[in-house]
Amino acid sequence: MEALALERKQEQNRELRIRLEQLKKERNAIILAHYYQRDEIQEVADFRGDSFLLAQKTAETDAEVIVFCGVHFMGESAKNLAPNKTVLIPDERAGCPMADMVNVDGLRKLKAQHPNAKVVTYINSSAEIKAETDICCTSANAVKVIESLDAEEIIWVPDKNLGQYVQDQTGKKLIIWEGYCNTHDMLTVKDVVEMRAKYPEAEFVVHPECRPEVVAMGDYVGSTTSILEYCRKSDRKQFIVGTEDGTGYQLRKDSPDKEFHFATKFLVCPNMKVNNLKKLVKCLETMKPQIYVPPAVADKARTSLERMLQVR
């Protein structure tokens, strides 16, 4: 019975992929997928990447329709950077708890308390928060963004773990908001110790959204893309991975001869996994749900995103 169910699933996915290719041509659409998406989404994407790479691709593409397979704030960022394009998301329920941990009123109060401070916002945030921001960043360029600022005070929102890492790396004092990624924050020192005992030859690669005490244990610390690059180029054959398990698709694709062991079974973002191939096809058929950002908000948010893309 299980074999029959698997065969049916595979046939359904083949039909969905054929339909998807037809719709992409009809709509002049591009499929962008975050590395944390399900394998079936990443397999059909025109471009896979982390938040920074996907933001770059959004700004560059000639496609009329962008289907953003990620969470809602990513779709908003795409709409901010490409206001004249139609931006779709397979399931609008794909939210981000960390993005919801910072609110406009709270940020405005903090800005009033520190009127000379520059505001740096992690891209994992709403368009309304980005509109209150001087410059955005991703985990890939956070250190460079902070180093680019000539400011005595810097307000950092919303991820306290990444904020602490950036502060340690740059030596700059940040006023850090108390948000965090539910998924990355689950990883504990105990988890890593147990995995190292189980795989003593493996290197531990970790995302800076994890807790500081976990990040401190890393043999390599970096954004999703830099972790992928490090593992691809490394001579080592075993890795303990401290980031969301969707990265396993690209890790295995890049290095089929290497072993990747996720540091805990809980490194799964349920919001990223809301999207699937069937929903992807349906959103292109119906052209819904579309991402909408009020023009006044979009204009301000776009400025903070464009400043981020200019940092080298």
If one counts every other C-beta atom within 10 angstroms of the C-beta of residue 86, the result is 17
Separation between Cα atoms, residue 98 and residue 130, nearest integer Å? 14
User: CA triplet 241, 246, 248: central angle to 5 degrees?
Assistant: 50
* pLDDT digits 0-9 by tens, 144-157: 999 999 998 999 99
Distance between CA 121 and CA 163 in Å, rounded?
Answer: 10
pLDDT of the chain along its 312 residues, tens only? 677 777 788 888 899 999 999 999 999 999 999 999 999 999 999 999 998 899 899 989 999 999 999 999 999 999 999 999 999 999 999 999 999 999 999 999 999 999 999 999 999 999 999 999 999 999 999 999 999 999 989 999 999 999 999 999 999 999 999 999 999 999 999 999 999 999 999 999 999 999 999 999 999 999 999 999 999 999 999 999 999 999 999 999 999 999 999 999 999 999 999 999 999 999 999 999 999 999 999 999 999 999 999 997
**Closest residue by Cα to residue 251 from 5, 88, 39:** 39
Supply φ then ψ for residue 50, to 5 degrees: -90, -175
Closest CA to 301 of 116, 29, 74, 50: 74
Per-residue pLDDT, 1 = 63
Angle, helices 72-81/51-60, rounded to nearest 10 degrees: 30
Per the structure block, which two tokens stand in for 244? 């969301």
For the chain, percent helix, then strand, then coil, each to nearest 5?
50, 15, 35
The model's pTM: 0.94
- How far is residue 200 CA from its own chain's centroid? 30
Q: Which domains does the chain have, with CATH numbers?
A: 2-96+272-295 (3.40.50.10800), 99-181 (3.40.50.10800), 184-262 (3.40.50.10800)
CA-CA distances (angstroms) from residue 287 to 42, 217, 277, 278, 280? Answer: 20, 45, 15, 14, 10
